[in-house]
Amino acid sequence: MAQIFDRSSNALARMSLVLTGLIVIALGVTLDQLQRSPWVTRQGQRADQPVPFSHKHHVQGLGLQCQYCHTSVEKSSYAGIPPTRTCMNCHAQIWTNAELLQPVRDSWATGESIVWTKVHDLPDYVYFSHEIHVNKGMGCSSCHGRVDEMPIMYQQNTLQMEWCLNCHRNPAANIRPTSQIYNMAWKSPSELSPVWCAASDVKKGVPTAQSVNCTSSDPASGSGNPQLASLHLNPARLALISGAQATDAPTSVRTPQPVSYTKFTSQEALGSFLVQHYNIRSPRDLSSCEVCHR
Q: Which of residues 61-80 bind other proteins (CB under 8 A)?
A: 72, 75-78, 80
Give CA 266 to chain center in angstroms: 20
Exactly one of 24, 36, 228, 258 binds other proteins (CB under 8 A); which one?
Answer: 36
282 binds other proteins (CB under 8 A): yes
47 binds other proteins (CB under 8 A): yes
Quick one: which segment of 89-97, 132-140, 190-198, 260-268 binds other proteins (CB under 8 A)?
Answer: 132-140
For residue 25, the tally of other CB atoms under 10 A from its CB is 10
Quick one: which segment of 40-48, 58-66, 139-147, 264-272 binds other proteins (CB under 8 A)?
Answer: 40-48
Exactly one of 132, 185, 220, 259 binds other proteins (CB under 8 A); which one?
Answer: 132
Exactly one of 189, 207, 226, 271 binds other proteins (CB under 8 A); which one?
Answer: 207
* Shortest separation between residue 42's beta carbon and other proteins, angstroms: 8
CA 265 → CA 188, 192, 236, distances in Å? 8, 8, 37
Amino acid at 91: H
Backbone angles phi, psi at 272, to 5 degrees: -65, -35
- Strands of the 195-199 sheet, one edge to the other: 212-215, 195-199, 262-264
232 binds other proteins (CB under 8 A): no
x/- mask, other proteins, residues 169-198, rule CB under 8 A, reads ------------------------------
Q: Cβ contacts of residue 111 below 8 Å, gap of 6+? A: none
* Shortest separation between residue 109's beta carbon and other proteins, angstroms: 10
Between residues 188 and 210, which has the closer beta carbon with respect to other proteins? Answer: 210
Amino acid at 16: S
Quick one: which segment of 25-33, 93-101, 179-187, 188-196 binds other proteins (CB under 8 A)?
Answer: 25-33
Backbone angles phi, psi at 187, to 5 degrees: -120, 150
Q: Cβ contacts of residue 66 below 8 Å, gap of 6+? A: 59, 73, 140, 182
